């Protein structure tokens, strides 16, 4: 009795259920390769919309989808919840926290990233990162809690209840600042009808002299103007030296009283990369070749944000979902080439541009390799269309479009509720 087609084509262990890992698994499965996909969660999250979960624009179910639901039954992908804690790149084996081992003919590492607090005192303990569904839900509950506390006791406003500090003026920080400003202007007045809460202050802090540094100078000026018009205080050219339970200390000596610090100040490769025994580059990313394989470790590939994927000029590609998707497919195709005894292909990124939402009716889009710029409502509509299309399922796309349309015409949000007690208790010393 002959072996099944899946077994005959080899087995692949993929660690990480993000953009790169899922794209790689799908491509392999379509060609009859048996895939075991491992992730600490049983869902795939659409990270570009996490700030909208945090500000209650969309629901958690609009950005998270069960991993098993992403693969047709006819495709041989086995999904297992596993917190991978060890990697043996020579044996192409990984081990989970409960001691279970998984081995394949090939190993694909796509673990993604985690927040980089740059050893800032107090940041890990007191700041709210925004890199997972769990992070977004915790931040949403904290944002709503400080409004409720200030509504109940207005004296808390003078103690920083209505001050919000966002660390990092990249895309995540700018989008969060814009969304929070919209929430303060539209959602909160309708929710509690308390004019005192209009005294909220949003501080966006970054050591760089501009916001959205990867974008053009025109985009810098546009984003800065929109944010300032919406009341965001830009603290540029300074950095956060310390995050305390009730304040942040800036490098210029000032302090801002606050109970809500959003950390969008940088990312680094997942901790597992450092324990993999593989060579690392900047921010702990794994060194790979132009074919996305790890040199000197046959059968091992690294893709997505955990990999130091280089452009032809030697600079690393930005850590974008589009890069991860294309890299995942390229790694899968090179594994298929390995199986068939064919030469591998070099990764070529098809640059479709970059986008950032600044707030209602305000966005920036630099489209295509020549970076044709769009600002304002047209870029806003383009951002909505592109991100709806990138969502992983039809239901998620419909729900997100519906939520955006409702949010545009109404002042209520169905997901604006407090459900994370681990983020809601604040010791005001009352």
What are the catalytic residues? 175
- Find residue 81's DSSP bridge partners: 39
Answer for the pair 304, 21: CB distance below 8 angstroms, yes or no. yes
CB 55 within 8 A of CB 188: no
**DSSP assignments along 233-290, one per residue:** EEEET--EEEE-SSEEEETTS-EEE-SEEEE-S-EEE-HHHHTTTS-B-GGGPEE--T
Which stretches within 96-132 are classed as H helix?
Answer: 123-126
Q: Which residues contact 108 (CB under 8 A, 6 or more apart)?
A: 12, 13, 14, 15, 21, 24, 300, 301, 302, 303, 331, 335
> What residues form DSSP beta bridges with 374?
365
Nearest to 333 by CA among 59, 12, 7, 5: 12
Rounded Cα gap, residues 63 and 391, in angstroms:
7
């Amino acid at each position: 009795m002959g072996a099944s087609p899946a077994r005959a084509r080899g087995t692949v262990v993929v660690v990480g259920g993000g953009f790169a890992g899922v794209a790689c698994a799908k491509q392999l499965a379509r060609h009859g390769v048996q895939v075991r996909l491992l992730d600490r969660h049983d869902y795939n999250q659409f990270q570009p919309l996490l700030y909208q979960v945090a500000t209650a624009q969309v629901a958690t179910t609009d950005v998270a989808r069960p991993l098993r639901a992403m693969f047709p039954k006819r495709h041989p992908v086995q999904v297992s919840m596993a917190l991978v804690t060890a990697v043996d790149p020579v044996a192409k084996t990984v081990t989970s926290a409960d001691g279970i081992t998984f081995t394949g003919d090939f190993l694909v590492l796509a673990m993604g990233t985690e927040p980089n607090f740059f050893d800032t005192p107090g940041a890990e303990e007191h700041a709210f990162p925004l890199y997972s569904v769990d992070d977004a839900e915790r931040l949403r509950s904290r944002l709503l809690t400080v409004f409720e506390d200030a509504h109940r006791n207005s004296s808390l406003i003078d103690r920083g209840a209505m001050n919000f500090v966002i660390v990092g003026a990249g895309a995540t920080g700018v989008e969060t600042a814009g969304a929070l400003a919209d929430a303060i202007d539209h959602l909160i007045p309708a929710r509690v009808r308390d004019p005192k809460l209009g005294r909220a202050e949003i501080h966006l802090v970054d050591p760089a002299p501009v916001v959205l540094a990867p974008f053009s100078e025109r985009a810098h000026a546009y984003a800065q103007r929109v944010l300032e018009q919406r009341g965001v205080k830009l603290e540029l050219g300074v950095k956060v030296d310390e995050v305390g339970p009730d304040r942040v200390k800036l490098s210029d000596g000032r302090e801002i009283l606050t109970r809500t610090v959003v950390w969008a100040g940088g990312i680094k490769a997942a901790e597992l990369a450092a324990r993999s025994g593989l060579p690392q580059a900047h921010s702990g990313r794994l060194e790979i070749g132009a074919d996305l394989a790890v040199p000197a470790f046959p059968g091992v590939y690294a893709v997505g944000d955990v990999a130091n994927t280089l452009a032809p000029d030697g600079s690393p590609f930005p850590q974008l979902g589009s890069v991860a998707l294309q890299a995942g497919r390229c790694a899968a195709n090179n594994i298929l080439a390995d199986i068939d005894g064919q030469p591998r292909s070099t990764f070529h990124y098809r640059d479709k541009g970059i986008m950032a939402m600044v707030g209602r009716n305000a966005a920036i889009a630099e489209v295509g390799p020549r970076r044709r710029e769009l600002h304002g409502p047209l870029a806003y509509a383009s951002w909505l269309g592109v991100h709806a299309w990138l969502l992983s399922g039809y239901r998620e796309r419909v729900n997100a479009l519906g939520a955006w349309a409702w949010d545009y015409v109404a002042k209520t949000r169905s997901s604006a509720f407090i459900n994370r007690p681990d983020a809601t208790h604040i010791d005001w010393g009352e």
